[in-house]
Amino acid sequence: MSEETQPFELHPRLAQDSIHITDWPLSQVRVMNDRQFPWFLLIPRVPNVTEIIDLNDADQQQLWRESAFLSHWLKAEYRPEKLNIAAIGNKVPQLHLHHIGRFSDDPVWPDPVWGRLPPKPLAEETVTRLQEIFKALSL
């Protein structure tokens, strides 16, 4: 991870809407607190970064490795018909990469998931299970 003078701080909106699962070499892994979609975030722990291209080359490569690893896990775990991966940041400028498993029978298919439905919080058991799974994964 690149050296920075300022500490990493998670954007309040990301902290409010998602739950910490684990930390990988570059990114914090979080799950959105919405059981309607398998929806995970990678948030590089690099301060003041809004775009992937703002990361140094080594961190860009690490982010892609982490994204690929998470994507393979999502496909194996949930078997989605499509993976939506995006770094949009229109409301939250802090760089974060969404990984969302989509299904043709999900409640908003084929539209984007953002702001379409009120979230349905994850069960505590689901969060604990995810934390245990990710603790056992080796990146």
Other CB atoms closer than 10 Å to residue 135's CB: what's the count? 9
Q: Give me the numbers of helices (H) and strands (E) for the chain, helices first please.
A: 3, 5
Q: Quick one: tokens of 5? A: 């003078």
pLDDT of residue 1: 56
pTM over 0.85: yes
The domain limits of the chain are: 13-136
Measured in whole angstroms, the distance separating CA 70 from the mean position of its chain's CA atoms is 9
Question: What number does CATH give the domain 13-136?
Answer: 3.30.428.10
Express each pLDDT in 66-117 by its tens digit.
Answer: 999 999 999 999 999 999 999 998 999 999 999 999 999 999 999 999 889 9
DSSP string of 61-128, one letter each residue: HHHHHHHHHHHHHHHHHH--SEEEEE---SS--S--EEEEEE-TTSTTTTS--TTTS---PPPHHHHH
- Tell me if the bond preceding 93 is cis, omega within 30° of 0: no
